[in-house]
Chain A
Amino acid sequence: MGATIHELTAAYRRGETTPSRVTDEYLARIARLDDRVGAYLTVTAEHARAAAHAADERYRAGRPLGPLDGAPIALKDVFCTKGVRTTCASKILENFVPPYDATVVERLAGAGAVMLGKTNMDEFAMGSSTEHSALRVTRNPWDLARVPGGSSGGPAAAVAAGLAAGSLGTDTGGSIRQPAAFCGVVGLKPTYGRVSRFGLVAFASSLDHPGPIALDVVDTALLLGVIAGHDPMDATSIEAPVPDYAAGLEQGVRGLRLGVPDEYFTRGMDAEVESAVRAAIDVLKGLGATLERVSLPATPYALATYYVIAPAEASSNLARYDGVKYGLRVNGHDLIDMESKTRAAGFGAEVRRRVMLGTYVLSAGYYDAYYGQAQKVRTLVRRDFDAAFGRVDLIVAPTTPNVPFKHGEKTDPVQMYLNDVFTIPADMAGVPGVSVPCGFTQTGLPIGLQIIGRALDEATVLRAARAYEGATDWHTRRPPLS
């Protein structure tokens, strides 16, 4: 257990084990441990066994589909899976069964991946701890009293606990990178539009990014390679060719210029996080990269900008949940009453807050001051990155200002939002960013190093992440779950 995808598929190729045997092992481990971790909302055992069986045949015939064939994968329950319940961890979609697959789901299946099930998340991807799931509590495998981060807490916890070899999450304000940091695994937010959003239940359309969460950078590159690429069903997906991410991983960092941003080392951030990240940056320097101070002056405004744009788009995207076509319906004496009661009952507190906030900032008289202004400040955030990338190739920083906190510890919404200060800017600018494990606190809680790159330059981001990983062994540690 705790094997990476590339280790597993190498074992399949060598005939040492089979996808079916491995899938059964994962399903058994889920049955044994997931009561404690709480990563899964739906386990698709039959589906998984059928896919594994088909993969068995292909390996037996010596014709596997590729590096993901037979890999046991978990999917954040925000991706539509045909015939399989897709809830977004919300009561309003608790029994929704989509009649179609998201594009990334199709691509993974086409590569032979075995879907073990759908994992927990903050409801509609709104949150940083997965505590806002309406359906289940997910615990950090490194300390079950603490949160796994969010909103992709389920996928990150599943991978960290060995309940899946890899997973797909989504990142809108940090929801792949932050839980990856909290769970001691690797999480990549690709460039906006690099991976299709068709079938990803929308939270904030201009900020949603599907991406891989895995145990190491090699797996991350393999997953990205399968899901990336233009999709005619998503008008915002990019046509640029997809490089072979795995092939370029071992180039090292010699000669790469790394920017260390002033604004990402703030007073009040956790001291252990800061020292672990600075040590990690030194490792990279030792491997031949050069360091440079950079400034991203719009950073202090990025949080506020995000909390205008994301709720605004969310309030619009969630308008469709009205009890008419699918999902929960609470009866009412007329249509408006039905819709209002349905939405109040179906949406949790955080979702309701954001829907209200979003509706307010878009409403008559407020558009220019809030949404209009936020879109302009967003341009300033983008320009910061453009300017920085004129001088450096990558930006290195902490992923989070803090370490995994206890369940129930952060009750103030604004306090919760502060988790995302270092991750939000990359979402606003659409540039790729990865979090890799770079240490632990004294009490054994994981810490993440963030590497951000130019748009469409995932290759360089992954290459630097791989170099760091190759010089350290944080990524080989596994949580003390038995």
Chain B
Amino acid sequence: MISRDDVVHVARLARLALTDAELETMREQLNAILSHIDALRGVDTAGIEPTSHAVPQFNVVRDDDPRPCLSVEEMLANAPDRAGDFFRVPRIIEE
């Protein structure tokens, strides 16, 4: 089942800062859920196509026609940190 290292790794992928206690609780809860989900593994799905759309459709496209953009003000109105007409983010450290 899920190890603590797995949980740490997934929390990193998901960008969630969890305390040690939270990581442990999460590990337990995820394991409980996964043990129920594991019932799926026993289902015989040989030759079955996956469903990615409940009501199958194809070829939905649009024409290359411009639509009005929103103004800078509207787009930046919710910005947590705005610098001029840009969104500002703290220092980016390559992973």
A146 CB, min distance to chain B CBs, angstroms:
25
Q: Which residues of B lie under 8 Å from residue A352 when comparing CB positions?
A: 16, 18, 26
Q: Which of A93-149 contact B (CB under 8 A)?
A: 95-97, 99-100
Determine if B45 and A236 form an interchain contact, defined as CB atoms under 8 angstroms apart. Answer: no
Contact with A along B59-95 (1 / 0, CB 8 A): 0101000000010001101111100000101111101
Known: A193-B57, A301-B40. A96 touches B89 (CB 8 A): no
A2 CB, min distance to chain B CBs, angstroms:
35
Q: Which of A308-361 contact B (CB under 8 A)?
A: 308, 315, 319, 322-329, 331-341, 343-344, 347, 352-353, 355-357, 359-360
The 3 closest A-B pairs by CB, nearest first: A430-B54, A375-B50, A329-B80
Q: Which residues of B lie under 8 Å from residue A363 when comparing CB positions?
A: 9-10, 13
Complex CA distance for A360 and B14, rounded to whole angstroms: 9
**Chain B, residue nearest A300 (CB):** B39
B38 CB, min distance to chain A CBs, angstroms:
8
Determine if B91 and A335 form an interchain contact, defined as CB atoms under 8 angstroms apart. Answer: yes
Q: Which residues of B lie under 8 Å from residue A356 when comparing CB positions?
A: 7, 10-11, 14, 16, 26, 30
Complex CA distance for A372 and B51, rounded to whole angstroms: 9
Complex CA distance for A324 and B17, rounded to whole angstroms: 16
Determine if B11 and A326 form an interchain contact, defined as CB atoms under 8 angstroms apart. Answer: no
Determine if A301 and B16 form an interchain contact, defined as CB atoms under 8 angstroms apart. Answer: no
**Chain A, residue nearest B71 (CB):** A99
Partner of A344, one of B17, B38, B39, B87: B17
Task: Apart from A353-B26, A377-B40, A455-B55, list 20 A-B contacts with CB within 8 A.
Answer: A238-B55, A300-B39, A308-B40, A319-B15, A322-B15, A323-B80, A334-B91, A335-B93, A344-B16, A353-B30, A356-B11, A356-B30, A357-B33, A360-B30, A373-B45, A378-B50, A380-B43, A413-B29, A429-B54, A430-B55
B31 CB, min distance to chain A CBs, angstroms:
11
Complex CA distance for A238 and B89, rounded to whole angstroms: 39
Q: Which residues of A lie under 8 Å from residue B21 when comparing CB positions?
A: none
**Chain A, residue nearest B25 (CB):** A349
Q: Which residues of B lie under 8 Å from residue A380 when comparing CB positions?
A: 43, 45, 48
Q: Which residues of A lie under 8 Å from residue B91 when comparing CB positions?
A: 333-335
Verify if A374 is at the interface (C-beta below 8 Å from B).
Answer: yes
Determine if B15 and A343 form an interchain contact, defined as CB atoms under 8 angstroms apart. Answer: yes
A96 CB, min distance to chain B CBs, angstroms:
6
Between A and B, 8 residue pairs with Cβ closer than 8 Å are A193-B54, A324-B87, A327-B80, A352-B16, A353-B26, A359-B14, A379-B45, A382-B54
Determine if B10 and A360 form an interchain contact, defined as CB atoms under 8 angstroms apart. Answer: yes
Determine if A343 and B17 form an interchain contact, defined as CB atoms under 8 angstroms apart. Answer: yes
Which A residues are closer than 8 A to B by beta carbons?
A: 95-97, 99-100, 191-193, 206-207, 232, 235-236, 238, 298, 300-301, 303-305, 307-308, 315, 319, 322-329, 331-341, 343-344, 347, 352-353, 355-357, 359-360, 363, 369-370, 372-380, 382, 412-414, 428-430, 455
Q: Which residues of B lie under 8 Å from residue A315 when comparing CB positions?
A: 14
A389 CB, min distance to chain B CBs, angstroms:
14
Q: Which residues of B lie under 8 Å from residue A235 when comparing CB positions?
A: 60
**Chain A, residue nearest B11 (CB):** A356
**Chain B, residue nearest A352 (CB):** B16
Q: Kindly name the residue among B16, B48, B60, B92 whose own CB sees the greatest number of chain A CB atoms within 10 A.
A: B16
Determine if A333 and B90 form an interchain contact, defined as CB atoms under 8 angstroms apart. Answer: yes
Give the B interface residue count (CB, 8 A).
52
Complex CA distance for A32 and B62, rounded to whole angstroms: 49
Determine if B10 and A359 form an interchain contact, defined as CB atoms under 8 angstroms apart. Answer: yes
A349 CB, min distance to chain B CBs, angstroms:
9
Known: A360-B2, A414-B33. A328 touches B40 (CB 8 A): no
Determine if B93 and A336 form an interchain contact, defined as CB atoms under 8 angstroms apart. Answer: yes
B52 CB, min distance to chain A CBs, angstroms:
6
Q: Which residues of A lie under 8 Å from residue B45 when comparing CB positions?
A: 373, 376-377, 379-380
A296 CB, min distance to chain B CBs, angstroms:
14
Determine if A325 and B79 form an interchain contact, defined as CB atoms under 8 angstroms apart. Answer: yes
B5 CB, min distance to chain A CBs, angstroms:
12
Determine if B18 and A344 form an interchain contact, defined as CB atoms under 8 angstroms apart. Answer: yes
**Chain A, residue nearest B17 (CB):** A340
Known: A193-B57, A429-B54. A341 touches B17 (CB 8 A): yes
**Chain A, residue nearest B88 (CB):** A324
Q: Which residues of B lie under 8 Å from residue A308 when comparing CB positions?
A: 37, 40
Q: Which residues of A lie under 8 Å from residue B55 when comparing CB positions?
A: 191-193, 236, 238, 430, 455
Partner of B95, one of A319, A336, A355, A455: A336
Q: Which residues of B lie under 8 Å from residue A382 when comparing CB positions?
A: 51, 54
Complex CA distance for A412 and B75, rounded to whole angstroms: 40
Complex CA distance for A326 and B76, rounded to whole angstroms: 8
Complex CA distance for A455 and B57, rounded to whole angstroms: 13
**Chain B, residue nearest A354 (CB):** B33
Known: A382-B54, A430-B54. A414 touches B36 (CB 8 A): yes
Known: A370-B37, A428-B54. A232 touches B62 (CB 8 A): yes
Determine if B33 and A307 form an interchain contact, defined as CB atoms under 8 angstroms apart. Answer: yes
Determine if A304 and B50 form an interchain contact, defined as CB atoms under 8 angstroms apart. Answer: no
**Chain B, residue nearest A429 (CB):** B54
B62 CB, min distance to chain A CBs, angstroms:
6
Determine if A379 and B50 form an interchain contact, defined as CB atoms under 8 angstroms apart. Answer: yes
